[in-house]
A and B are shown apart, each in its own frame.
Chain A
Amino acid sequence: MKATPAKQRIAAPPAVFTREITAATIVLAAAVALILIMKLIFPSFGSLAQIAAILVTSIFLVVASCGQGLTILLGGIDLSIGVVMSIAGMMIAGLTNGSNDNLPWAVPLVLACCTGIGVLNGVGIALLKIPPLLMTLAMGTTFFGVALGATSGSLQQRVAPALQEVMSSHLAGIPVPVILMAAFVVVVIVGQQRTAMGRKLYALGSNQTAARIAGLPIVGLTIGAYAISALCAAISGLLLAGYSASATLDMGDPYLMPTIAAVVIGGARVTGGRGIYWGTFAGAIFLSTVSTIITALSLSQGWRNIIQGGIIISALIITFIQSKLSSSGN
């Protein structure tokens, strides 16, 4: 009888999130503002097709940074995301080899293998107490070596046509990837904010000692978070392979740093325990918009790096100023 009110309290959205939701919405608004400014300067920019393209290409970052967000929520980081994305793409291309016949078993196999890398990460971090930065970097390097040895670094082509179709078709005038992305976002937000597992991750991220005393399965939760991170990276890799119709061993690399940037821009605390997926999603959309603008302005890779790094530092400093203001306000 008495358990019911407690359950209701867990299910109710915690008040602390409202500020974060506002911050994330501001980031989204900034992305829209960027597009509008570009449209003012270059009237040819910002057609409906271009905006649809921004949304479609942002799905890779939106999906991959979900996993990064979970590991950062635990106070860790996942530097193997780029490699896992590439491995997923290479595997699906190699296994399907241009036909749909193998797709039904190839997709689960690829996802399972990549999740395995995440489990390894989690075991090293939770049981062997290796710092997340180094464990995931080491696993990334190791499995890059494995993939390089297995494929001799050659370009794997001919991804299954069904996968390519998913990425290019429309449903009722809306690109299918955008619908998939919306579904993904809803699932993640519900999973992270409204389920017991999600709440436990927050508890573990904000205070490990307290979580241990409260009897949370720390090892299981940590391994789970890194496994989900690898799973998200693998899904993202599959989609990327479908989008570009081929796979290379370094195709995931450009997405690693942006996943971290998206989480940081979304207002997550890098030391863990705070951050919502809505923020990460907003960060990912913002970065994809910036990336499209950089491409439209035909800036070089060097400038792309500088802008990306500058965005992360600015986001960090803004978060710092916000926390200063709010603490002095109290």
Chain B
Amino acid sequence: MIPIRINRLNGAPLAFALFVAMYIAYALHMPSALSLFSITNLFNNTVVLALAAVGLTFVILIKEMDLSPVGVIAVTNVLVATQSGSTPYGALLCFLLCCLIGLGIGLINGVLVAYLRLQSLACTLSTMIICQGVALIILPAPGGEVAEFISYQLTDLIGGVFPVSAAILVLVAALWLFLRRTSFGIGLYAVGTDEVAAHYSGIKVNRIRLGAFALAGIFYGLAGYMLSAQIGSGDPRVSSSFLLYVFAAVAIGGTSLSGGRGGIIGSLAGAGILTIMQKMLFSLGVSDFYTNIFNGVIMVLAILLGNSTALLNKWREHRENFASSSYLRGREKQAGSKQAEATQ
């Protein structure tokens, strides 16, 4: 009973409800938000953050930290901006290259964390710094040009009705729903909850760790590819506030930063919430200075919200256990007194 209840109570539905509520508020303020154009726009703005947040979720689920998304995105972005040809073939090549680079960096992080047992925070910090350095060497200043094929096709609609970005997000969600049922998916939660217990139940803990970092890297690479499609050029300096966004999206989506709880779907909703919030702030004419302040405060609130749902769950569980045990005790007492009556 209790595990099901906890599943139902986790942050994803809450995040989705919040997202829908915010979208309705935004649409009321700006009726044009319901047009296909602005919906496509919203998805296009969300997809980069969403992909990065999805990647980070894998790592957070196993109770590790990853600062490398910013680095991987910077490298893949400048690579696409300098290397993409004008043909669909070049676009495909770039796509594969982004995935490979992400996978490579993810594997490096994974090996350092899983097999050398180095602290993930420090390792991914250094891979991030190195990646940013590589990006600066490839493209010292913002510039370059992304092939038109990439920047048009990936921000467009499929058959004129369905945004490509939305299709990508649906695909990711479907992949997760499948992955969650596999032994890898179950292993993620097991390792994040209690690695010793996971080890004793026969889960290859290190392999799960390596897998989580590798998968995360691929998603960062994809995020970099989509970012290139969005901005149409290269920028070696992805700001550290983007990192804050990625963490915020994961936290708002109800994934516990202490591991073992949450999931991809929530992170997708979290990314949507953050994007729509930016749009609301922009449409209200809030200046750039204050969006920084807002982001910091939202981040803290999001984690507090996540902490409080965890506490609430614990409290409910506790109360339920208590209630059921006192109920049983009551029954015993009743039975006992009846017996006593009967003997009298």
Contact = CB atoms under 8 A, between A and B. Distances in A.
Interface in B192-221: none
Interface residues of B, number: 46
A216 B240 CA distance: 35
B304 A309 contact: no
A49 interface: no
Interface string A33-46: 00000000000000
A141 B257 contact: no
B38 interface: no
B240 A137 contact: yes
Mostly helix, strand, loop or mixed at chain A's interface? helix
A95 to B, nearest CB: 20
A179 interface: no
Contacts of B130: 305-306, 309-310, 313
B133 A302 contact: yes
A75 to B, nearest CB: 10
A302 B135 contact: yes
Contacts of A105: none
A309 B129 CA distance: 5
Nearest to B292: A145
Contact of B300 (A135, A301, A310, A316): A135
A237 to B, nearest CB: 18
Contacts of B171: none
B281 interface: no
B133 A306 contact: yes
B126 A270 contact: no
Interface string B133-165: 111110010000000000000000000000000
A145 B289 contact: yes
A144 B136 CA distance: 24
A218 interface: no
A317 to B, nearest CB: 7
Interface string B111-147: 0100011110111011111101111110010000000
Interface residues of A, number: 43
Interface string A120-152: 000010001111011101111111111011000
Contacts of A137: 240, 243-244, 247, 299
A138 B299 contact: yes
Nearest to B138: A302
B293 A145 contact: yes
B291 A300 contact: no
20 contacts: A130-B303, A131-B257, A133-B65, A134-B247, A134-B251, A135-B300, A137-B240, A137-B244, A137-B299, A138-B297, A145-B290, A145-B296, A148-B288, A264-B122, A302-B135, A303-B137, A306-B137, A312-B129, A313-B130, A317-B116
Task: Name the 3 nearest CB pairs between A and B, nearest first.
Answer: A145-B292, A305-B133, A142-B296
Interface of A: 77, 124, 128-131, 133-135, 137-146, 148-149, 257, 260, 264, 269-271, 300-310, 312-313, 316-317, 320
Given A145-B295, A305-B130, 15 more contacts: A134-B257, A137-B243, A137-B247, A141-B295, A143-B296, A149-B290, A257-B129, A269-B119, A300-B136, A301-B136, A302-B132, A306-B130, A312-B129, A313-B123, A316-B118
